[in-house]
Structure 1
Amino acid sequence: MNLGLDKSREKVLLRGYPGGNLEKIKKCGLDYVKLCKPEIIVLQIGSNDLCNSTNSVQDVARGIIEVAIKLGFCLEVKKIVICQILHRLSPQKRIRYKVDIKWFNKRCDELNSFLSHYFRENRMDNVSFWKDSGFWSERSKQLAFCNDGVHLNINTGYPKYNNGIRAAVKVAMPKTKPGQSRKGKNKDQRESPSPLSPEVEEALIARITESVIQSMNRNQPVEEIP
């Protein structure tokens, strides 16, 4: 999968962790980023964490922001795109992990609204929040999802999702003048970032936590999802 981009100039890597949550991404995904040294990362994370009732929306928001900041500040990724978490549907078959759909979708809306506002308010130049279209009306969800109500189907859901990801990547790509090459240093030439000391990383996480708590305590209104 190369998202229809020029294979001679851009290489797209797809990495997923079935059933994974934010903790697994921090343990495994960040090591993968260190290995590959991508310039742009598009993240679809947080859905499984929202299913866990022991996690508050605030907890999940803090975890997502922490991952984004680690990618940008610690691993020097030039652009990080955080995608909206998608709604779920009532399953049409028996599934292993079932959640109350109204409860989940309400938390999903709260989290998406908060992240959209947070990244806009804090003006993080290398982090953006991407709003997918075509997955929010009941009709579009029925067409896009498998009968488990969680995963996108091959015929409609994934093609639509891939188009959205391609658009997000195109927006994140550096703009070049006519005749100018986008190629810079290759991944072998790019310097490996120096890891943060445990003290600095702990202080960074504490600042993120405080920032999220302060923002949520302002009771920002939930935006309607387009």
Structure 2
Amino acid sequence: MRILNVCVIGHSHIRRLIDCGMQTETDNLNLDPEVFKVSFRGKGGLRLNKRVFRSEILHFDSIPDVVFLQIGENDICENTNSEKLARDIISVGQYLRDGVGVKVVIIGQLIRRMQFASCQNFNVFVVQTNEHLKRFAEPLGGIYFWGHRGFWKDFHYLGPDGVHLLCTPAEDQPMRKFRRSIRNAVILHSKVLRPPLCHPKREPGEMMWQLEDYHQQHHQLK
């Protein structure tokens, strides 16, 4: 059975996920290396309109089967048009699918920030953009919107800077939850690329229903 190549792309959330994976030995998203081979491209401050995004981040010598995108938050400012931002993000997914040849593109929901660390109405724009992304992605084959569970009720998941996910030796639950969310997205949407697999290995404390029924809840913004 051929190993599926997965590439996780994004801004500082992904760059920090790389660091966390190296520290916790989960640099393959804790996925079976005989089934998935995961690589990462994370760059702090990444924006859609930066030349480096298309010239470096979206350039592949070997085309991945699956790409997970976590982008958009750094593009929000006081005069953001959330519908246009969502369309721009979707266009990246379409470029990856149609221009590069990626079979499955997963777009992660934008994540909120604390008010002191962002522009006015930042979180309003985040919610609006996520709603547009979900709507725009639904009719598109091979491009999917993915909602991260557990990042909506409050801001306990953020570190002191109000922007990045909390990840310290004393408290790394938010980053582990983020990794698990991306992992579940890859497991779910890669099913279209191969015959049904046996159950993937579970992470410590993870119940099987979280893998099998996750798709019933991931689209809900809580």
The TM-score with structure 1 as length reference comes to 0.69
Q: Indicate which of 29, 38, 44 corresponds to 1:12.
A: 38
* Distance change (3 Å), C-alpha of 1:224 and 1:109: farther
- Mapped to 2, the partners of 1:178 and 1:168 lie a distance apart of 15
**2:75 paired residue number:** 49
**Post-superposition offset of 1:225:** 2.1
**1:107 paired residue number:** 125
Q: Is residue 2:195 matched to residue 1:176?
A: yes
DSSP-derived class of the 1:15 partner: strand
1:93-172 superposed matches below 5 A: 98-100=118-120, 103-120=121-138, 123-138=139-154, 141-142=155-156, 144-154=157-167, 155-172=172-189
Q: Is residue 2:107 matched to residue 1:82?
A: yes
**1:191 paired residue number:** none
* Distance change (3 Å), C-alpha of 1:26 and 1:104: same
Percent identity of equivalent pairs: 29
Q: In 2, are the aligned partners of 1:84 and 1:132 still within 8 Å (CA)? A: yes
Q: Whose helix fraction is larger, Structure 1's or Structure 2's?
A: 1
Q: In 2, are the aligned partners of 1:26 and 1:67 still within 8 Å (CA)? A: no
Q: In 2, are the aligned partners of 1:90 and 1:148 still within 8 Å (CA)? A: no
DSSP-derived class of the 2:38 partner: coil
**2:88 paired residue number:** 63
**1:26 paired residue number:** 54
Q: In 2, are the aligned partners of 1:44 and 1:82 still within 8 Å (CA)? A: yes
- Mapped to 2, the partners of 1:90 and 1:3 lie a distance apart of 30
**Post-superposition offset of 1:26:** 2.3
* Distance change (3 Å), C-alpha of 1:177 and 1:86: closer
Say how many residue pairs are matched.
Answer: 168
Q: In 1, are the aligned partners of 2:78 and 2:122 still within 8 Å (CA)? A: no
**1:212 paired residue number:** none
Q: In 1, are the aligned partners of 2:83 and 2:128 still within 8 Å (CA)? A: no
Q: Is residue 2:56 matched to residue 1:39?
A: no
**Post-superposition offset of 1:172:** 1.6
Higher relative contact order, structure no. (Cα contacts within 8 Å, ≥ 6 residues apart)? 1
Q: Whose strand fraction is larger, Structure 1's or Structure 2's?
A: 2
* Structure showing greater Rg: 1
* Distance change (3 Å), C-alpha of 1:110 and 1:5: same
Once the two structures are superposed, residues 83-102 of structure 1 have per-residue CA deviations (whole angstroms, 9 ceiling, x without a partner) of 100111145xxx6xx423xx
Gaps of 5+ in 1: 180-222
DSSP-derived class of the 1:11 partner: strand
- Mapped to 1, the partners of 2:61 and 2:145 lie a distance apart of 25
**1:206 paired residue number:** none
**1:185 paired residue number:** none
**1:215 paired residue number:** none
**Post-superposition offset of 1:156:** 1.8
- Cα RMSD after superposing both structures: 2.0
